[in-house]
Amino acid sequence: MSASFASALAAAREAAGSQHYPQGALYVVATPIGNLADIGLRALHALALADAVACEDTRHTQALLRAYGIDKPAAALLPVHEHNEREAAPAVIERLRLGQRVAYASDAGTPAVSDPGARLVAAVAAAGLRVVPLPGASSVTTLLSAAGAVGEGGFVFAGFLPAKSAERDAAVAACAAESRAVVLLEAPHRIAGLAAALAVLGERPVTVGRELTKQFEEVATLACAGLPDWLAANPQRSRGEFALLLHPVAAAPAALQGERVLRLLLAELPLKTAVRLAAEITGEPRNALYQQALALKQVDAHDADAGSSPG
């Protein structure tokens, strides 16, 4: 453990003397998203004090604890991840009922946002036991603070969009209809597909945060249409974890909003499917959207015929 972390842990323990850390409580602990220095003093103290640490990956969390000079026996690390969270919750609740302090940490950032933790927290609360949040690092708020783009309307957190192209295109259409800022997350092996899907949003600005807080952190703002080219310009840009912020736009009249969503969906989906999704996204009557879709199809067909006529 470095001298700086040792002194930080000592400061955390000193500061904690005036605070209460009740027994029989679940401590939801935010951990760094890259830079190990981004850890809260309360988080350090709670992790050291905990009788058990439930975590997304026991090996990852064990290494993290050791980096801060916190030693926990293997038996005190409980695997609670997306595949077993519901089944693992009763064992955590039993420990809490015995008066133990249990901390929960995902691999990085704040649990229960895009990482596991929500089901565990809900189960603990439903059992009438206390949940204590310990705030800290989050890729969402980190990107928001660097983008300077959230207006008075706030923002929408969409997280990871669906992997399948048709479902992702429908989700992008919903983002297009949203006038507020929209935060997205993406993994490196899927970023090219997301970039291509977002390109249909044209000149709408997007701020991309790559490898936030890490050595090769990169934050850039550009038009959605240019996102695929931006990625392709440097092979390194397809590596690392991504957070993206679609900037807010002035709300369009409902009719124009419906047409924009329809055009996006019709480019990828059959007419009836596009109309159904457009109705769900915009709240407009399905019959009206169906007639609008037919008209758009006729206009596109006419334009195609005109373009192919000998001139």
For residue range 273-282, list pLDDT tens digits in order. 989 988 888 8
The pLDDT tens digits for 214-228 are 999 999 999 999 999
Spatial distance between the Cα atoms of 111 and 106, rounded to a whole number of angstroms: 5
Q: Are strands 130-134 and 25-29 parallel, antiparallel or unpaired?
A: parallel
**Residue 291: predicted pLDDT:** 87
Residues in Cβ contact with 213 at an 8 Å cutoff, skipping those fewer than 6 apart: 32, 33, 34, 35, 38, 137, 142
Residue 5 half-sphere exposure toward CB, CA atoms < 13 A? 16
Of residues 146, 152, 148, the one with CA closest to residue 250: 152
CA 289 to centroid of chain Cα atoms: 31
What pTM, to 2 d.p., does this model score?
0.76
**Residue 177: predicted pLDDT:** 86
Q: Which residue has the higher pLDDT, 260 or 266?
A: 266
Residue 274 DSSP SS3: helix
Residue 227 DSSP SS3: helix
Backbone φ, ψ for residue 15 (5° rounding): -65, -30
State which amino acid sits at residue 94: E
| Mean pLDDT within 256-274 | 83
The span from the first CA to the last CA of the chain, in angstroms, equals 77
Residue 165 DSSP SS3: helix
**Structural contact between residues 112 and 131, judged by C-beta atoms closer than 8 angstroms:** no
Of residues 32, 30, 33, 79, the one with CA closest to residue 53: 79
The pLDDT tens digits for 56-72 are 999 999 999 999 999 99
Is the model's pLDDT at 9 over the cut of 80? Answer: no
**Residue 3: predicted pLDDT:** 64
Q: Which residue has the higher pLDDT, 15 or 263?
A: 263
Spatial distance between the Cα atoms of 111 and 113, rounded to a whole number of angstroms: 6
**Structural contact between residues 99 and 129, judged by C-beta atoms closer than 8 angstroms:** no
